[in-house]
Amino acid sequence: MTDAPSPAYKGPERVFSGMQPTNGLHLGNYLGALQKFVALQGKFQECIYCVVDLHAITAGPDPKELAAKSREVAAAYLAAGVDPKRSIVFVQSAVREHSELAWVFNCIARMGWLERMTQFKDKAGKHAERMSVGLFDYPVLQAADILLYKATHVPVGEDQKQHLELSRDIAQKFNNDYDAPGFFPLPEPLIQGPGARIMSLRDGSKKMSKSDPSDLTRINLTDDADAILQKVKKATTDPNPLPESKAGLAGRAEVENLVGIYAAVSELSVEDVLNEFGGKGFGAFKPALAEVLAVKLAPIAAEMRRLNADPAALDAILQDGAGRARAIAAPIMDEVRERVGFWRA
Ligand code: TRP
Protein backbone atom coordinates (compact mmCIF):
# COMPACT_ATOMS: atom_id res chain seq x y z
CA MET A 1 0.00 0.00 0.00
CA THR A 2 2.89 2.31 0.57
CA ASP A 3 6.05 3.52 -1.10
CA ALA A 4 9.27 1.86 -0.09
CA PRO A 5 10.71 3.89 2.79
CA SER A 6 14.21 3.53 1.41
CA PRO A 7 15.63 1.15 -1.13
CA ALA A 8 18.33 -0.02 1.27
CA TYR A 9 16.21 -0.13 4.43
CA LYS A 10 15.17 -3.64 5.38
CA GLY A 11 13.54 -3.13 8.77
CA PRO A 12 9.87 -3.39 9.68
CA GLU A 13 7.28 -0.76 8.87
CA ARG A 14 6.43 1.43 11.80
CA VAL A 15 4.20 4.47 12.28
CA PHE A 16 5.23 7.43 14.44
CA SER A 17 3.45 10.69 15.01
CA GLY A 18 3.16 13.38 17.62
CA MET A 19 1.15 16.37 18.67
CA GLN A 20 2.21 19.24 20.87
CA PRO A 21 0.63 19.43 24.30
CA THR A 22 -1.84 22.25 23.98
CA ASN A 23 -5.22 22.64 25.51
CA GLY A 24 -8.12 23.45 23.29
CA LEU A 25 -7.91 20.60 20.80
CA HIS A 26 -10.35 21.14 17.96
CA LEU A 27 -12.01 19.42 15.03
CA GLY A 28 -9.01 20.09 12.80
CA ASN A 29 -6.79 18.12 15.20
CA TYR A 30 -9.34 15.32 15.29
CA LEU A 31 -9.95 14.94 11.56
CA GLY A 32 -6.41 15.85 10.52
CA ALA A 33 -4.53 13.72 13.02
CA LEU A 34 -6.39 11.74 15.68
CA GLN A 35 -8.79 9.99 13.34
CA LYS A 36 -5.85 8.92 11.19
CA PHE A 37 -3.88 7.71 14.20
CA VAL A 38 -6.80 5.43 15.01
CA ALA A 39 -7.27 4.13 11.46
CA LEU A 40 -3.56 3.31 11.07
CA GLN A 41 -3.71 0.93 14.01
CA GLY A 42 -5.52 -1.49 11.74
CA LYS A 43 -3.05 -1.11 8.89
CA PHE A 44 0.34 -1.24 10.58
CA GLN A 45 1.76 -3.66 13.12
CA GLU A 46 3.30 -0.99 15.27
CA CYS A 47 2.08 2.57 15.85
CA ILE A 48 3.80 4.98 18.22
CA TYR A 49 1.97 8.13 19.28
CA CYS A 50 3.86 10.71 21.25
CA VAL A 51 2.93 13.90 23.09
CA VAL A 52 5.82 16.16 22.15
CA ASP A 53 6.45 18.25 25.24
CA LEU A 54 10.09 18.95 24.33
CA HIS A 55 8.76 20.76 21.27
CA ALA A 56 6.32 22.72 23.41
CA ILE A 57 9.03 24.58 25.33
CA THR A 58 10.49 26.03 22.12
CA ALA A 59 7.71 28.60 22.32
CA GLY A 60 8.36 29.55 25.95
CA PRO A 61 8.23 28.17 29.47
CA ASP A 62 4.97 26.90 30.92
CA PRO A 63 6.09 24.90 33.95
CA LYS A 64 2.83 24.99 35.90
CA GLU A 65 0.66 23.83 33.02
CA LEU A 66 2.86 21.70 30.80
CA ALA A 67 2.36 18.30 32.44
CA ALA A 68 -1.40 18.85 32.65
CA LYS A 69 -1.50 19.73 28.97
CA SER A 70 0.50 16.63 28.12
CA ARG A 71 -2.04 14.51 29.99
CA GLU A 72 -4.87 16.28 28.22
CA VAL A 73 -3.49 15.54 24.76
CA ALA A 74 -2.77 11.95 25.74
CA ALA A 75 -6.39 11.71 26.93
CA ALA A 76 -7.54 13.01 23.55
CA TYR A 77 -5.53 10.30 21.76
CA LEU A 78 -7.19 7.64 23.87
CA ALA A 79 -10.67 9.18 23.73
CA ALA A 80 -10.44 9.32 19.93
CA GLY A 81 -9.80 5.58 19.88
CA VAL A 82 -6.05 5.06 20.08
CA ASP A 83 -5.72 1.75 21.93
CA PRO A 84 -2.79 1.93 24.37
CA LYS A 85 -2.38 -1.86 24.25
CA ARG A 86 -2.01 -2.03 20.50
CA SER A 87 -0.22 1.29 20.08
CA ILE A 88 2.45 2.94 22.18
CA VAL A 89 1.28 6.19 23.77
CA PHE A 90 3.83 8.22 25.71
CA VAL A 91 5.24 11.65 26.50
CA GLN A 92 8.41 12.61 24.63
CA SER A 93 10.46 13.93 27.56
CA ALA A 94 10.08 10.58 29.35
CA VAL A 95 12.38 8.98 26.75
CA ARG A 96 15.63 10.89 27.05
CA GLU A 97 17.06 9.47 23.85
CA HIS A 98 14.97 11.99 21.88
CA SER A 99 17.22 14.79 23.09
CA GLU A 100 20.36 12.73 22.63
CA LEU A 101 19.63 11.83 19.03
CA ALA A 102 18.59 15.42 18.32
CA TRP A 103 22.11 16.53 19.29
CA VAL A 104 23.72 14.08 16.89
CA PHE A 105 21.34 15.26 14.18
CA ASN A 106 22.20 18.89 14.94
CA CYS A 107 25.64 18.03 13.71
CA ILE A 108 24.22 16.40 10.55
CA ALA A 109 21.68 19.04 9.50
CA ARG A 110 23.04 22.09 7.68
CA MET A 111 22.13 25.68 8.58
CA GLY A 112 20.94 26.20 5.02
CA TRP A 113 18.45 23.34 5.31
CA LEU A 114 16.89 24.84 8.42
CA GLU A 115 16.93 28.36 7.05
CA ARG A 116 14.57 27.17 4.33
CA MET A 117 11.91 25.93 6.77
CA THR A 118 8.78 27.96 6.12
CA GLN A 119 7.17 27.15 9.47
CA PHE A 120 10.01 28.85 11.34
CA LYS A 121 9.86 31.84 9.01
CA ASP A 122 6.11 32.10 9.55
CA LYS A 123 6.37 31.78 13.32
CA ALA A 124 9.34 34.09 13.72
CA GLY A 125 8.19 36.75 11.28
CA LYS A 126 10.56 39.66 11.44
CA HIS A 127 11.88 38.68 14.87
CA ALA A 128 14.09 35.65 14.14
CA GLU A 129 16.89 37.06 16.36
CA ARG A 130 14.61 37.02 19.37
CA MET A 131 13.32 33.47 18.89
CA SER A 132 14.81 30.60 20.89
CA VAL A 133 17.44 28.50 19.17
CA GLY A 134 15.09 25.63 20.00
CA LEU A 135 12.36 27.03 17.79
CA PHE A 136 14.81 27.19 14.89
CA ASP A 137 15.97 23.66 15.69
CA TYR A 138 12.44 22.28 16.12
CA PRO A 139 12.47 20.23 12.88
CA VAL A 140 15.74 18.52 13.85
CA LEU A 141 14.15 17.30 17.07
CA GLN A 142 11.19 16.14 15.00
CA ALA A 143 13.55 14.11 12.79
CA ALA A 144 15.04 12.58 15.94
CA ASP A 145 11.54 11.65 17.19
CA ILE A 146 10.82 9.73 14.03
CA LEU A 147 14.19 8.13 13.39
CA LEU A 148 14.80 7.13 17.01
CA TYR A 149 12.22 4.40 16.28
CA LYS A 150 13.25 3.92 12.64
CA ALA A 151 9.68 4.88 11.81
CA THR A 152 8.81 4.49 8.14
CA HIS A 153 5.42 6.24 7.98
CA VAL A 154 4.40 9.49 9.60
CA PRO A 155 0.80 10.73 9.56
CA VAL A 156 0.95 14.52 9.57
CA GLY A 157 -0.83 17.56 8.20
CA GLU A 158 0.10 19.17 4.91
CA ASP A 159 2.06 21.85 6.80
CA GLN A 160 4.55 19.22 8.05
CA LYS A 161 5.57 17.99 4.61
CA GLN A 162 8.70 20.13 4.57
CA HIS A 163 9.74 18.87 8.01
CA LEU A 164 9.39 15.30 6.74
CA GLU A 165 11.62 16.12 3.78
CA LEU A 166 14.19 17.41 6.23
CA SER A 167 13.92 14.16 8.21
CA ARG A 168 14.66 12.26 5.03
CA ASP A 169 17.65 14.48 4.25
CA ILE A 170 19.01 13.96 7.76
CA ALA A 171 18.50 10.18 7.58
CA GLN A 172 20.20 10.05 4.20
CA LYS A 173 23.15 12.17 5.26
CA PHE A 174 23.62 10.18 8.48
CA ASN A 175 23.59 6.94 6.46
CA ASN A 176 26.16 8.41 4.07
CA ASP A 177 28.42 10.18 6.57
CA TYR A 178 28.64 7.18 8.88
CA ASP A 179 28.92 4.65 6.11
CA ALA A 180 25.71 2.98 7.19
CA PRO A 181 23.58 2.42 4.08
CA GLY A 182 19.99 1.63 5.01
CA PHE A 183 20.59 2.25 8.73
CA PHE A 184 17.81 4.81 8.94
CA PRO A 185 14.74 4.52 6.72
CA LEU A 186 13.64 7.56 4.74
CA PRO A 187 10.29 8.19 6.42
CA GLU A 188 7.22 8.84 4.30
CA PRO A 189 4.55 11.34 5.26
CA LEU A 190 0.97 10.06 5.22
CA ILE A 191 -1.05 13.11 4.28
CA GLN A 192 -3.84 11.93 1.97
CA GLY A 193 -7.36 11.38 3.01
CA PRO A 194 -10.34 13.39 4.09
CA GLY A 195 -9.78 15.94 6.73
CA ALA A 196 -6.20 16.63 5.65
CA ARG A 197 -6.91 20.32 5.97
CA ILE A 198 -9.79 21.69 8.01
CA MET A 199 -10.24 25.42 7.63
CA SER A 200 -11.60 28.16 9.88
CA LEU A 201 -15.40 28.35 9.94
CA ARG A 202 -15.21 32.09 9.26
CA ASP A 203 -12.48 32.25 6.63
CA GLY A 204 -11.91 29.41 4.18
CA SER A 205 -8.36 30.53 3.47
CA LYS A 206 -7.12 30.02 7.05
CA LYS A 207 -6.54 26.76 8.87
CA MET A 208 -8.76 26.00 11.85
CA SER A 209 -6.51 27.00 14.74
CA LYS A 210 -6.58 27.14 18.50
CA SER A 211 -4.71 30.43 18.37
CA ASP A 212 -7.40 32.28 16.40
CA PRO A 213 -8.80 34.91 18.78
CA SER A 214 -12.37 34.09 17.78
CA ASP A 215 -13.80 30.85 19.18
CA LEU A 216 -16.42 30.96 16.39
CA THR A 217 -13.74 29.90 13.91
CA ARG A 218 -13.38 26.41 15.39
CA ILE A 219 -15.26 23.46 16.84
CA ASN A 220 -13.52 22.38 20.05
CA LEU A 221 -13.53 18.70 20.92
CA THR A 222 -15.30 19.61 24.14
CA ASP A 223 -18.05 21.79 22.60
CA ASP A 224 -21.55 20.56 23.38
CA ALA A 225 -24.35 20.13 20.83
CA ASP A 226 -25.67 23.61 21.43
CA ALA A 227 -22.29 25.32 20.98
CA ILE A 228 -21.70 23.29 17.83
CA LEU A 229 -25.05 24.31 16.37
CA GLN A 230 -24.42 28.00 17.10
CA LYS A 231 -20.98 27.93 15.50
CA VAL A 232 -22.11 26.01 12.42
CA LYS A 233 -25.04 28.41 11.97
CA LYS A 234 -22.66 31.36 12.10
CA ALA A 235 -20.15 29.75 9.73
CA THR A 236 -19.46 31.86 6.64
CA THR A 237 -21.21 30.69 3.46
CA ASP A 238 -22.73 32.39 0.44
CA PRO A 239 -26.31 32.89 -0.74
CA ASN A 240 -26.25 30.09 -3.34
CA PRO A 241 -27.44 26.55 -2.67
CA LEU A 242 -24.95 23.69 -2.36
CA PRO A 243 -23.62 22.55 -5.74
CA GLU A 244 -24.65 19.25 -7.32
CA SER A 245 -21.07 18.20 -8.05
CA LYS A 246 -17.52 18.67 -6.84
CA ALA A 247 -16.67 21.07 -9.66
CA GLY A 248 -19.24 23.49 -8.23
CA LEU A 249 -17.14 23.87 -5.07
CA ALA A 250 -14.39 25.71 -6.96
CA GLY A 251 -13.96 29.24 -5.67
CA ARG A 252 -16.23 28.53 -2.66
CA ALA A 253 -13.62 27.71 -0.03
CA GLU A 254 -15.96 28.00 2.97
CA VAL A 255 -18.59 25.77 1.37
CA GLU A 256 -15.95 23.25 0.36
CA ASN A 257 -14.70 23.19 3.93
CA LEU A 258 -18.15 22.51 5.42
CA VAL A 259 -18.89 19.80 2.87
CA GLY A 260 -15.46 18.28 3.55
CA ILE A 261 -16.13 18.29 7.28
CA TYR A 262 -19.50 16.59 6.78
CA ALA A 263 -17.87 13.97 4.55
CA ALA A 264 -14.97 13.30 6.93
CA VAL A 265 -17.14 13.09 10.03
CA SER A 266 -19.70 10.78 8.40
CA GLU A 267 -17.02 8.80 6.56
CA LEU A 268 -18.66 9.55 3.21
CA SER A 269 -17.16 10.91 0.01
CA VAL A 270 -17.70 14.55 -0.96
CA GLU A 271 -19.74 13.24 -3.92
CA ASP A 272 -22.03 11.34 -1.52
CA VAL A 273 -22.63 14.49 0.49
CA LEU A 274 -23.38 16.53 -2.62
CA ASN A 275 -25.74 13.82 -3.89
CA GLU A 276 -27.72 14.29 -0.72
CA PHE A 277 -27.51 18.07 -0.31
CA GLY A 278 -26.81 19.43 -3.83
CA GLY A 279 -29.38 22.04 -4.75
CA LYS A 280 -30.47 22.49 -1.12
CA GLY A 281 -29.77 25.62 0.87
CA PHE A 282 -27.64 26.04 3.98
CA GLY A 283 -30.82 26.23 6.06
CA ALA A 284 -31.09 22.48 5.47
CA PHE A 285 -27.40 21.61 5.41
CA LYS A 286 -26.15 23.42 8.49
CA PRO A 287 -28.41 21.75 11.07
CA ALA A 288 -27.60 18.36 9.50
CA LEU A 289 -23.88 19.11 9.76
CA ALA A 290 -24.22 20.26 13.37
CA GLU A 291 -26.06 17.03 14.17
CA VAL A 292 -23.40 14.69 12.72
CA LEU A 293 -20.70 16.69 14.49
CA ALA A 294 -22.48 16.55 17.84
CA VAL A 295 -23.06 12.80 17.54
CA LYS A 296 -19.42 12.22 16.66
CA LEU A 297 -17.86 14.47 19.30
CA ALA A 298 -20.09 13.81 22.33
CA PRO A 299 -18.58 10.41 23.21
CA ILE A 300 -15.04 11.73 22.69
CA ALA A 301 -15.65 14.68 25.02
CA ALA A 302 -17.20 12.37 27.62
CA GLU A 303 -14.24 9.99 27.47
CA MET A 304 -11.78 12.91 27.74
CA ARG A 305 -13.57 14.12 30.84
CA ARG A 306 -13.48 10.63 32.34
CA LEU A 307 -9.74 10.23 31.64
CA ASN A 308 -8.87 13.72 32.86
CA ALA A 309 -10.70 13.02 36.11
CA ASP A 310 -8.34 10.13 36.91
CA PRO A 311 -4.78 11.35 36.28
CA ALA A 312 -3.24 8.39 38.11
CA ALA A 313 -4.80 5.90 35.69
CA LEU A 314 -3.67 8.01 32.74
CA ASP A 315 -0.15 8.26 34.18
CA ALA A 316 0.01 4.48 34.45
CA ILE A 317 -0.80 4.19 30.75
CA LEU A 318 1.83 6.80 29.87
CA GLN A 319 4.42 5.12 32.06
CA ASP A 320 3.81 1.81 30.36
CA GLY A 321 4.04 3.55 26.96
CA ALA A 322 7.32 5.23 27.88
CA GLY A 323 8.80 1.89 28.90
CA ARG A 324 7.80 0.26 25.62
CA ALA A 325 9.01 3.24 23.61
CA ARG A 326 12.33 3.19 25.38
CA ALA A 327 12.73 -0.53 24.72
CA ILE A 328 12.70 0.25 20.99
CA ALA A 329 14.68 3.48 21.18
CA ALA A 330 17.56 2.48 23.46
CA PRO A 331 19.16 -0.18 21.24
CA ILE A 332 18.83 2.10 18.20
CA MET A 333 20.47 4.94 20.12
CA ASP A 334 23.20 2.58 21.28
CA GLU A 335 23.95 1.71 17.69
CA VAL A 336 24.04 5.41 16.77
CA ARG A 337 26.50 6.02 19.60
CA GLU A 338 28.66 3.21 18.33
CA ARG A 339 28.58 4.39 14.72
CA VAL A 340 29.36 7.97 15.74
CA GLY A 341 32.29 6.68 17.78
CA PHE A 342 31.36 7.90 21.25
CA TRP A 343 33.47 6.54 24.07
CA ARG A 344 32.37 3.36 25.74
CA ALA A 345 34.17 1.55 28.55
N1 TRP B 1 5.72 19.29 14.30
C2 TRP B 1 4.54 18.47 14.47
C3 TRP B 1 3.32 19.37 14.37
O4 TRP B 1 3.39 20.53 14.72
C5 TRP B 1 4.55 17.74 15.78
C6 TRP B 1 5.61 16.70 15.81
C7 TRP B 1 6.74 16.71 16.57
C8 TRP B 1 5.64 15.53 15.05
N9 TRP B 1 7.46 15.58 16.36
C10 TRP B 1 6.83 14.84 15.42
C11 TRP B 1 4.80 14.99 14.07
C12 TRP B 1 7.18 13.63 14.83
C13 TRP B 1 5.16 13.79 13.50
C14 TRP B 1 6.34 13.12 13.87
O15 TRP B 1 2.27 18.92 13.96
The yes-or-no answer to whether 14-190+310-340 and 215-305 have a common fold is: no
For residue 242, the CA-to-ligand 1 centroid distance in Å is 36
CATH annotation of 14-190+310-340: 3.40.50.620
- The residue to mutate among 140, 142, 188, having the most atoms of ligand 1 within 8 angstroms of its beta carbon, is 142
Task: Determine the Cα–Cα distance for residues 157 and 72; give it in Å rounded to an integer.
Answer: 20
How many other CB atoms sit within 10 Å of the CB of residue 128?
13
For residue 20, the CA-to-ligand 1 centroid distance in Å is 7
For residue 142, the CA-to-ligand 1 centroid distance in Å is 6
Task: Determine the Cα–Cα distance for residues 220 and 232; give it in Å rounded to an integer.
Answer: 12
Q: How confident is the model at residue 61, as a pLDDT?
A: 94
Radius of gyration (C-alpha) of the chain in whole angstroms: 21
Atom of ligand 1 nearest to the CA of 52: 7
* Closest to 183 in 3D by CA, of 191, 193, 172: 172
Exposed, middle or buried, 1 (CB in 10 Å: 0-12/13-18/19+)? exposed
Q: How confident is the model at residue 1, as a pLDDT?
A: 44
Task: Determine the Cα–Cα distance for residues 132 and 83; give it in Å rounded to an integer.
Answer: 35
Residue located nearest, by CA, to atom 14 of ligand 1: 17
pLDDT tens profile 185-209: 999 999 876 556 899 999 999 999 9
Which one-letter amino acid corresponds to residue 297?
L
- The superfamily in CATH containing domain 215-305 is Tyrosyl-Transfer RNA Synthetase (1.10.240.10)
What are the CA-CA distances from residue 74 to residues 20, 45, 71 (Å)? 10, 21, 5
18 Cβ closer than 6 Å to some ligand 1 atom: yes
For residue 246, the CA-to-ligand 1 centroid distance in Å is 32
Contacts of 47 (CB under 8 A, 6+ apart): 14, 15, 16, 37, 40, 41, 82, 86, 87, 88
Q: Where are the domains of the chain?
A: 14-190+310-340, 215-305
Atom of ligand 1 nearest to the CA of 92: 9
The DSSP code for 220 is: B
Report residues of the chain scoring pLDDT below 70: 1-6, 193-196
Q: How confident is the model at residue 196, as a pLDDT?
A: 62
Exposed, middle or buried, 62 (CB in 10 Å: 0-12/13-18/19+)? middle
Positions annotated as catalytic residues are 123, 207, 210
Q: How confident is the model at residue 293, as a pLDDT?
A: 98
* Beta strands, E only, the chain: 15-19, 47-51, 88-91, 153-155, 188-190
